Amino acid sequence: MTAKSLFDKLWERHVVVDETSDSPAVLFIDLHLIHEVTSPQAFSVLNERGLKVRRPDLTIGTLDHSTPTLPADENGELPYATAEAKAQVETLIANCETHGVELFGMGDPRRGIVHVIGPELGLTQPGKTIVCGDSHTSTHGAFGALAFGIGTTEVGHVLAMQCVLQRKPKSMRVVFEGATPAGVTAKDMALAVIAEIGADGGQGYAVEFAGPAVEALSMEGRMTLCNMSIEAGARFGMVAPDGTTFAWLEGRDRAPSGEAWQAALEDWRTLPTEDGAAFDKEVAIDASALAPMITYGVSPDAAAPVDAVAPAPTTEEARRAADYMRFEGDRPFTENKVDRVFIGSCTNSRLSDLRLAAGVMRGRKVRDGVIALVVPGSEAVRRAAEEEGLDKIFLEAGAEWREPGCSMCIAMNGDAGAPGDLVVSTSNRNFIGRQGKGVRTVLASPATAAASAIEGRIADPRPFLEETDGV
């Protein structure tokens, strides 16, 4: 028998109708996650046609993109950035009530960023197909799931049929050989991959991350790595489930329990890629040679070590990006003054990310003139961080501690930079306007972002981490 990859196994398990030259395959979806931005139009189509949600038991909603991260006023009113943002939230609440879909609304202790709460509740599990009207759904692939973002029309398809049309992509394996040096995080690994293969290097591929450095990552780190796979053009990013996966899931609210847990483990252990499985493309990266990374352009593949110098533009596109970012060629990145720092997003807002940032900020002060925003990814993360006193560390350092939400990652809720600001951000995208009109975004790890807030310029986190417990 031909050896199979993780991706092959997941695909074969969920094909309802095989693809042909004329039509894509039909895949069954095990978990459909929805939020307030991409679901209103899909629900409108269902309502217009008198259709019901096919499997409300496999559909979960949360509020994250448009929700304020500032608390309600004395009258209990939330400070929505726009009337449209408030309407999006109210529309999802109404649609979920109409169709019997479970929703983690404002005030719900389970609410948070969709790609944070799925895993932390145990909804995300190995072997599942998971979709959401959000490109960073690839995050859930860290558990050995087939997870991918879908468009608004497809959201409607899944609501109505619990299936989606999809053509099977080619396969790629990215192997991180060796061990990462101290100070190098999963975010740095992700930026290194994107710099290596390009922002479209994964286009048309399902990517499996493997190798000793990946196996050594925590589940939070694996989620960060898979989250960023979309920034290399891939639709899917995944890591094979192992003991780390199982230990992380055991006991979570929506994970199997008792005999069902043992049965699930037996099944999940059959999922990893078999020896000899073929991939259409393989990429090897020496993890031991990596350093903390930042982006310097307006695409995630314009990434380099933080202690490097800005490259001189060699193309017209690169020149335009350099003009926008205002990084002087052949000068150290660390010379550039920072205006704002954002620590949060579905990429880096989990408890381990906040611990890392707090370790850098503990006993230090954010540089005068720098605005630092720390936004936990969920209510559960917020509670855990506050129980550990991380919020006090951030506040004493001069950073702002906010309510959970997508916040400045996409700047839909009022959290945004000012034109011309240089923002060091732990989010996932740095294109022009992503964090506000005229904002210049530098993507980095929580450690690099925190160090930059303290220094008031782009900073190498390693000297700060030497005084902590490390990564």
Farthest CA pair distance, the chain: 67
CA quadruple 115, 120, 122, 126: dihedral sign: positive
Taking 50 as the threshold, does the pLDDT of residue 471 lie above it?
no
What is the average pLDDT across 47-65? 97
What is the average pLDDT across 119-147? 98
- CA–CA gap between residue 32 and residue 51 (Å, rounded): 17
Report the residue count for the chain.
Answer: 471
Residue with tokens 């199979």: 4
pLDDT of 84 reads 95
CATH topology of domain 6-166: Aconitase; domain 3 (3.30.499)
Nearest C-alpha neighbor of 299 from the set 197, 452, 219: 197
The separation between CA 284 and the C-alpha centre of its own chain, rounded to angstroms, equals 23
CB atoms under 10 Å from CB of 284, counted, come to 12
* Sequence-ordered list of residues with C-beta below 8 angstroms from that of 86, at least 6 positions apart, any chain: 66, 78, 80
Contact yes or no for 465/182 (Cβ under 8 A): yes
The half-sphere exposure of 17 on its side-chain side, counting CA atoms within 13 A, is 11
pLDDT of 469 reads 47
Residue percentage of the chain with pLDDT more than 70? 99
- CA–CA gap between residue 306 and residue 60 (Å, rounded): 39
What is the average pLDDT across 248-271? 98
CB atoms under 10 Å from CB of 386, counted, come to 13
> What are the DSSP calls for 49-99, one per residue?
HTPPPS-GGGEEEE--SS--SSPP-TTS----SSHHHHHHHHHHHHHHHHH
- For the segment 136-153, what is each residue's pLDDT rounded down to a tens digit? 999 999 999 999 999 999
End-to-end CA distance of the chain: 42
Name the average pLDDT for the chain: 96
Taking 70 as the threshold, does the pLDDT of residue 36 lie above it?
yes
Q: What's the token pair of residue 289?
A: 């040679």
CATH topology of domain 294-465: Aconitase; domain 3 (3.30.499)
Residue percentage of the chain with pLDDT more than 90? 98
For 47, 99, 321, 331, the CA distances from 439, given in Å and listed in that order, are 39, 40, 12, 21
Residue with tokens 């409108």: 44
- For the segment 453-463, what is each residue's pLDDT rounded down to a tens digit? 999 999 999 99
Nearest C-alpha neighbor of 279 from the set 228, 231, 234, 221: 234
Burial class of residue 120 (count of CB atoms within 10 Å of its CB; 0-12, 13-18, 19+): buried
* Sequence-ordered list of residues with C-beta below 8 angstroms from that of 6, at least 6 positions apart, any chain: 144, 208, 238, 240, 271, 272, 273
- CA–CA gap between residue 214 and residue 212 (Å, rounded): 5
pLDDT of 467 reads 65
* Sequence-ordered list of residues with C-beta below 8 angstroms from that of 264, at least 6 positions apart, any chain: 125, 126, 255, 256
Strand partners, 466: none
Which strands make up the sheet holding 281-286, listed edge to edge?
A: 236-238, 205-210, 170-177, 281-286
- pTM exceeds cut of 0.95: yes
Same fold, 6-166 and 170-244+266-288: no
CATH number for region 170-244+266-288: 3.40.1060.10
Percentage helix, strand, coil, to 5, in the chain? Answer: 35, 20, 45
304: three-class secondary structure by DSSP: strand
Q: How confident is the model at residue 384 (pLDDT cuts 50, 70, 90)?
A: very high
Residue with tokens 């972002």: 449
Q: How confident is the model at residue 466 (pLDDT cuts 50, 70, 90)?
A: confident
Query: Residue ranges of the domains in the chain?
Result: 6-166, 170-244+266-288, 294-465
pLDDT of 470 reads 39
Q: What's the token pair of residue 21?
A: 């030259």
- For the segment 411-460, what is each residue's pLDDT rounded down to a tens digit? 999 999 999 999 999 999 999 999 999 999 999 999 999 999 999 999 99
Contact yes or no for 353/375 (Cβ under 8 A): no
- For the segment 172-194, what is each residue's pLDDT rounded down to a tens digit? 999 999 999 999 999 999 999 99
pLDDT of 468 reads 54
Residue with tokens 């996932």: 428
